[in-house]
Amino acid sequence: MNAQAIAQVLVSGLLIGLMYALIAAGLSLIFGLMDVVNFAHGEFLMMGMYITFGLFVGMQLDPVLAVPIVGAALFMAGVLVYLLLVRYAMRAEANVGMVQIFSTFGLGTLMQGLAQYFLTPDYRQVSGSWLANKTIELGGVFLPLPQIAGAVVSLLAFGGLYLLMSRTDFGRALEATREDQGAVALVGIDRNRVFALGWGLGLALVGVAGAMLANFYYIHPQVGGAFSGIAYVVVALGGFGSVFGALAGGVVVGLVEALTTLVLPASMKTVGVYVLYLLVVVLRPSGLFGKP
């Protein structure tokens, strides 16, 4: 194997890794904010992909232009999910742990069923978008444009998230709420408002990821499952609740997956990722980049 082929594998891994990071960012944000795991995360990715597909087929809107619309739609979905479901789930007095898992879990299953019923289990594809099937060559390494665009949008989103968290009042309120939920009330921050906006922001991120992913991945009702497993691993590696840990975790997962294909058949490419996950679970349960 020559240097060019290895560079190809590493670059592909890096590009898909940045996509994984963006998919996992919202999961990590919500977890860090309120200690709730969104078990419907993959289904919201699916929702973002289907909205993108719908805009493309119905209004000939390119996925790249659909990004803000999908993000806004998923933001509203996130606010609603918090206000109508999660808020009540958090009030449970019996079987608290179970309720937190199965409220969002049930929502995800329901969404999958609805997608299957109304949109059929058929595989869909956004074909003929601006970026589709275009590649650029850089020193013998071929880079598909849709993946590059996904990686760029991912980096922009993390950059925006960093500015939001560090420069705005909302970001500071978010940070303060995750530090101490009780104390923020004393300084006049409405906890419910922060949680609702946090859910909105978290799902907007996964919506943006869905729009970019629709450029180069098949869309079907089970598509969320394929990515939510990876997203949990990314979040576990990055340290639960650490949004920028998710960025590092995503890149590591992408690279490990790409390197696995060098030694195992493509159908087993996730084995390497899972082995890494098990090692981290045993050796460093707080994640590679989390505080021990």
Beta bridge partners of 144: 135
Cα of first residue to Cα of last residue in the chain, in angstroms, is: 39
Please check whether residue 115 is in contact with residue 170, taking contact to mean a CB–CB distance below 8 angstroms: no
Query: Does 6 help bind another protein (rule: CB under 8 A)?
Result: no
Q: Residue count at the site for another protein (CB under 8 A)?
A: 49
Q: Of residues 21, 22, 25, 107, which one binds another protein by CB under 8 A?
A: 107
Q: What mask of x and - would describe binding to another protein in positions 115 to 154, judged by CB under 8 A?
A: xxx---x---------------------------------
Please check whether residue 238 is in contact with residue 27, taking contact to mean a CB–CB distance below 8 angstroms: no
Q: What mask of x and - would describe binding to another protein in positions 198 to 227, judged by CB under 8 A?
A: -----------------------x---x--
Rounded Cα–Cα distance for residues 91 and 271 (Å): 39
Long-range contacts of 85-94, Cβ-Cβ distance < 8 Å, separation of 24 or more: 86/36, 86/195, 86/199, 87/192, 87/195, 89/36, 90/34, 90/36
Query: Does 265 help bind another protein (rule: CB under 8 A)?
Result: yes
Stretch that binds another protein, among 108-116, 130-138, 162-170, 244-252 (CB under 8 A): 108-116
Q: Of residues 51, 89, 223, 237, which one binds another protein by CB under 8 A?
A: 89
CA distances from 235 to 7, 123, 241, 277 (A): 26, 28, 7, 10
Tell me the residue length of the chain: 292
Query: Does 102 help bind another protein (rule: CB under 8 A)?
Result: yes
Query: Does 103 help bind another protein (rule: CB under 8 A)?
Result: yes
Binding residues (CB under 8 A) for another protein: these are 31, 37, 85, 88-89, 92-103, 105-117, 121, 221, 225, 229, 232-233, 236, 240, 265, 267-268, 270-271, 274, 277-278, 281-282, 285
